Amino acid sequence: MIWHIAKKEIHHNLTTLRFALMIILLPVLMVANALIYGFGNNGYREEVDAYNQAMERRLSRIKSDAEKNLGRLAMRGPGEIHRLPSPFKFCADGTDELIPRSIPIVSSGAGRGGDVTTAYSWRELWSLEYLPSNHGSDATTRIKIDWVFIGIFMSFFVILFTFDAIAGERAHGTLSLMMSNQISRGQMLFAKYLGAFFTLMVPLTIGILMNLLIIYLSESILFSSGDWLRILGMVGLFALHISIFIFLGLFFSSRVSNAITSLVWLLLTWVCLAFIFPSLLGLFVGTLDPIPSIEIVSSRKRTQLANIEDEFRPTELLEVTKLSEAPSPDNPSATRRWATYFTRRYETRTQIADTHVDQQFRQVRLARELTQISPIVCFQYAMEGLANTGIVSYMNFVKQVRRYRQTFTDFIKTEDRNDPESLHIYPVREGLSQKPVDPNAVPRFEEHPSYQSVLLPVGLLILFNTLFFTAAQLSFLKCDLK
């Protein structure tokens, strides 16, 4: 009986204008997505080529420094570190154009003469520099037709298929007639759900197959077996997302007296979940925990570095901190003073830069946690997590770069300890080994995508399905059949 009613519901949906519109618009959007990301400018293949060229430049620099001596490699660092391009931007773009694609390695403070010394040309230890977001990009004004956008578009169509599922039957007097058969209200509700679900999944499946076929034929993206599993997971996210709004539509359709009222309530709810709640909560987090501007952070850094300069500037009262003597293998005491000076400056720059970025990340995490009261936002975050795009992928990238920073430093110190002729004074070029290093022994940075960020939004999508199913069930049990 359940399947009989579900087939009747599917047949009814297939003959409506809303299905005709969806069967046209959805494949068109999927084809447009494939053409934009498969054949458009700055596609995945171009990003991979740029990434490979950057890797070659970085490895060439490391080889050049390592073949000269360990001290030079230690001071100049491993070079700019780039993010690995994601092949799934067509699924979840994640506004990656607004997120830095790399973390530069900066060796600042190079100079000769000045207030601290008059006879030594020096270069400070390398450090990470976090680039600001590209807020001026054209991406801020251009809609991305990715799978996330199409999913939001589909949630709107779900409303059109469910707003009159029960209210319309009641208005035509067919609901009481159907319930006069040997079928419970729960079975009736489940049959309505199946009818709407299969009606919506058919054009979605057709659109996805067309999308993947065009991208495959473009040869711009080559998928591995693991990539196909991720795509299958994204299709599952579509199913969870659609299911939520089916249950929501059934809830309102059983609660109100007529279909028009149900449609109005569903549209208001959809607008709140898609736009109003995420925007208001994001604004609230921004005012709740304001982040200092780049100008304030830069001023703070200049002030602290100036204090260090004053501390190490030669005076008659502070003979032991004078840097008038240049570091050299023959002068360990002067080399140690320079090491203290460089370390203080490095720790100051690193602490200020890391703290500022960590403040931004905390704000992002708080905003994401609050905005996930919307199933639409949960769907977006889960898609970005599987695609390895968006701000969370950048946060994971930064964590890995910081771990690599420590790994690289430990390598330098270990190699230096193996040279008995070195002073073992870090981080001064003259205090480290002056022998060349095997470039192949230098640790390389390898980015490993993390999918932990997917777990929470997927769990919330399942929870929303459970809650809305329960609400629809209870509402239908109490509703009047006439």
Residue 302: CB atoms within 10 Å: 10
Q: pLDDT band at 141, cuts 50/70/90?
A: very low
Q: Can you name the residues that pair with 115 across neighbouring β-strands?
A: none
**Maximum alpha-carbon separation in the chain:** 103
Higher pLDDT, residue 320 or 395:
395
Interior CA angle at 141 toward 136 and 142, to 5°?
A: 120
Which pLDDT score, from 0 to 100, does residue 110 have? 52
How many angstroms separate the CA atoms of 1 and 226, rounded?
40
Distance, in Å, from the CA atom of 297 to the CA atom of 355, rounded to the nearest integer, reads: 10
Measured CA distances, 27 to 23, 112, 155, 207, 315 (Å): 7, 64, 16, 4, 76
pLDDT of residue 42: 65
pTM for the whole thing?
0.91
- Is pLDDT above 70 for 221? yes
pLDDT, average across residues 44-59: 92
- Higher-pLDDT residue of 208 and 182 is 208
pLDDT of 111 reads 54
- The per-residue pLDDT for range 92-116, each reduced to its tens digit, is 988 777 788 888 888 755 554 445 5
* Mean pLDDT of the residues in the chain: 89
Q: Assign 362 a pLDDT band (cuts: 50, 70, 90).
A: very high
Both tokens of 24, joined, read 């046209």
Question: What's the chain look like in SS3?
Answer: CHHHHHHHHHHHHHCCHHHHHHHHHHHHHHHHHHHHHHHCCCCHHHHHHHHHHHHHHHHHHHHHHHHHCHHHHHHHCCCCEECCCCCCCCCCCCCHHHCCCEECEECCCCEECCCCCCCCEECCCCEECCCCCCCCCHHHHCCCCCHHHHHHHHHHHHHHHHCCCCHHHHHHCHHHHHHCCCCCHHHHHHHHHHHHHHHHHHHHHHHHHHHHHHHHHHCCCCCCHHHHHHHHHHHHHHHHHHHHHHHHHHHHHHHCCCHHHHHHHHHHHHHHHHHHHHHHHHHHHHHHCCCCCHHHHHHHHHHHHHHHHHHHCCCCCCHHHCCCCCCECCEHHHHHHHHHHHHHHHHHHHHHHHHHHHHHHHHHHHHHHHHCCCHHHHHHHHHHHHHCCHHHHHHHHHHHHHHHHHHHHHHHHHHHHCCCCCCCCCCCHHHCCCCCCCHHHCCCCCCCCCCHHHHHHHHHHHHHHHHHHHHHHHHHHHCCCC
pLDDT at 7 over 60: yes
How far is residue 267's CA from residue 260's CA, in Å, rounded to a whole number?
11
| Pairing mode of beta strands 81-82, 102-103 | antiparallel
What pLDDT, on a 0 to 100 scale, did the predictor assign at position 442?
97
d(CA 313, CA 324): 9
For residue 382, the model assigns a pLDDT of 97
| 41: confidence class by pLDDT, cuts 50, 70, 90 | low
- What is the share, in percent, of the chain residues with pLDDT greater than 70? 93
Q: In whole angstroms, give the CA distance from residue 356 to residue 295.
A: 12
Instruction: Please say whether the beta carbons of 73 and 65 come within 8 A.
Output: yes
Measure the CA–CA gap between 216 and 349, rounded to whole angstroms. Answer: 46
Q: How far is CA 377 from CA 234, 242, 259, 279, in A?
A: 15, 13, 27, 11
